[in-house]
Amino acid sequence: MSPPALPDRLGGAPDSKRSLRLWLRLLTCTTTIEQTISQRLRDDFGSTLPRFDMLSALDRAGEGGLTMGEVSRMLMVSNGNVTGLAQRLKADGLIEHLPGADRRVQRVRLTATGRGRFAAMAAAHEHWIETLLADLTGPEADDLIRLLEQTKRSLRSAIHEEPNR
């Protein structure tokens, strides 16, 4: 027996509304996952999703760390947002500034405490995602990944083709 269909907020819109329906489903899924993960990070670690994201970026960067500009680009947020976040993470002992030849370019990396804290958060995060998506079979997840990659390529192509962008 298949699960009941999700409610159609577009009132049974014809196929011409398929793209809108798809976008709304993607948005609903993304928002639900993000809100759930955010709440669990707060409850279990007293952290936020932006803190987790910055720690994750620094973990991937390794001992060399990242410049604040690199973090900003990776997280797709302003330099000001990254600076405030870095200050709080440093105050908590999770990151440190690296000395550099150019004082205008600040590099940061995880401290040993930061690496340990992030490892615990990352393990929990992975478990939460696995749990949230557990109803998808392996082949369904593979199909969805393939389709989302195709969607990503379509988006990039459409954005590139738009005039004045």
Write out pLDDT tens, residues 89-137: 999 999 999 987 777 778 999 999 999 999 999 999 999 999 999 999 9
Looking at the whole model, is its pTM more than 0.85? Answer: no
CA angle centred on 90, ends 88 and 95, rounded to 5°: 125
The helix-helix angle for 49-61 and 68-75 (nearest 10°) equals 120
Map tokens 């809100």 to a residue. Answer: 35
Question: Which of the residue ranges 18-22, 74-78, 109-113, 159-163 would you say has the lowest mean pLDDT?
Answer: 159-163
